[in-house]
């Protein structure tokens, strides 16, 4: 019994059969959600932990003035921010961007898993660390990259992440993001995102349409983005 989540965590090379089996058992509780459904809303009581098995989701925060900033994209196999189940206060919301199927892990079960299998704690932790690298790279993008570079960088990141989970090939993949969503993730305006996208298409570097990304000139795109995929850490060190 394997799913995107287990493949993801096993990727770190830490888990034995007992542990993957335990994870498999924990993921029995499935839920189908439409696009635009909330998994967690800021202020909720944190109870179950969610894992995306299919579809896309994003985390975001609403500002006093009503603006929205998207903080993370979640792809199949990703935790919906475990921290949310651990820290007391929930400091942001999570919603699906497409139809999605998620597994729900009751908090108690998470705790039992962690108690029983320290190696799982480590695997969770490492997965966290990769997420953190992504957050850092976003900060770099927002702080120091111009709009074209930012768009290019995000496309590179998402393409590689999709490829890492076997959902991309030939420089094409699904990318179900509206220009509004993109704008809220990149700290730009929808109209500006539109112009940037348009210019990248005109330059025959990449094209984003109908929910799909096609990278025409991968090297050029990576160069514009200043992209260095190391931070996605496909491989990790073992302790012990």
124 in Cβ contact with 115 (< 8 Å): no
Supply 49's token pair: 């932990």
Site string for its own copies, 182-201 (x = CB under 8 A): --xxxx--------------
For residue 62, state whether it binds DNA (rule: CB under 7 A). Answer: no
**Angle at CA 115, nearest 5°, toward 15 and 30?**
70
Assess 178 for contact with DNA (CB under 7 A): yes
Torsions phi, psi for 59 (to 5 deg): -100, 145
Beta bridge partner(s), residue 169: 172
Given candidates 192, 217, 218, 232, which one binds DNA under the rule CB under 7 A? Answer: 192
Q: How far is the CB of 112 from its own copies (least distance, A)?
A: 10
Q: Do 26 and 113 form a contact (C-beta atoms < 8 A)?
A: yes
Give Cα 100 distance to the centre of its chain. 13
Which residues, numbered 2-61, are part of the site for its own copies (CB under 8 A)?
A: 46, 59, 61
CA distance 229 to 110: 31
Task: Give the number of C-alpha atoms closer than 13 A to the C-alpha of residue 23, restricted to the C-beta side.
Answer: 27
Number of residues that bind DNA (CB under 7 A): 17
Can you tell me the distance from the alpha carbon of 52 to that of 77, in angstroms, rounded to the nearest whole number?
A: 6
What is the smallest separation between the CB atom of 226 and DNA, expressed in angstroms?
A: 14
Least Cβ distance, residue 109 to DNA (angstroms): 35
Residue range at the interface with DNA (CB under 7 A); choices 125-133, 156-164, 183-191, 217-225: 183-191
The residues with which 61 forms a beta bridge, in sequence order, are 69
Considering only residues 99 to 158 of the shown chain, the ones binding its own copies according to CB under 8 A are 110-111, 114-115, 118, 121-122, 124-126, 128-133, 135-140, 142-145
Smallest distance from the beta carbon of 40 to DNA, in angstroms?
A: 21
Least Å distance, CB 95 to DNA, is: 12
Q: Is 179 in the site for DNA (CB under 7 A)?
A: yes
CA–CA separation, 52 and 74 (whole Å): 7
The yes or no reply on residue 31 touching DNA (CB under 7 A) is no
- Which of positions 59-88 make contact with its own copies (CB under 8 A)? 59, 61, 63-65, 67-69, 71-72, 83, 86-88
Three-state DSSP at 71 gives strand
Q: Which residues bind DNA (CB under 7 A)?
A: 146-148, 178-180, 187-192, 194-195, 197-198, 209
């Amino acid at each position: 019994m394997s799913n995107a989540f287990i493949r993801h965590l096993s990727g770190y090379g830490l888990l034995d059969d007992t542990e993957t089996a335990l994870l498999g058992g924990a993921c029995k509780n499935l839920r189908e959600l439409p696009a635009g459904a909330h998994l967690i809303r800021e202020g909720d009581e944190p109870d179950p932990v969610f894992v995306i098995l299919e579809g896309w989701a994003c985390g975001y925060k609403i500002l006093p003035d009503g603006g929205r900033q998207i903080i993370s994209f979640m792809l199949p196999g990703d935790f919906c921010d475990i921290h949310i189940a651990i820290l007391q206060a929930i400091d942001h919301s999570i919603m699906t961007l497409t139809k999605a199927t998620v597994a729900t892990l009751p908090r108690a079960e998470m705790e039992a898993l962690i108690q029983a299998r320290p190696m799982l704690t480590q695997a969770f932790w490492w997965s966290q660390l990769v997420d953190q690298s992504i957050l850092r790279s976003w900060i770099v993008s927002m702080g120091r990259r111009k709009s074209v570079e930012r768009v290019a960088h995000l496309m590179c990141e998402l393409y590689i992440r999709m490829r890492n989970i076997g959902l991309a090939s030939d420089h094409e993949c699904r990318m179900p993001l509206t220009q509004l969503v993109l704008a809220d993730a990149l700290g730009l305006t929808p109209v500006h995102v539109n112009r940037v996208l348009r210019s990248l298409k005109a330059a025959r570097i990449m094209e984003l349409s109908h929910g799909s990304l096609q990278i025409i000139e991968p090297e050029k795109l990576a160069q514009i983005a200043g992209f260095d995929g190391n931070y996605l850490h496909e491989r990790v060190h073992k302790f012990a």
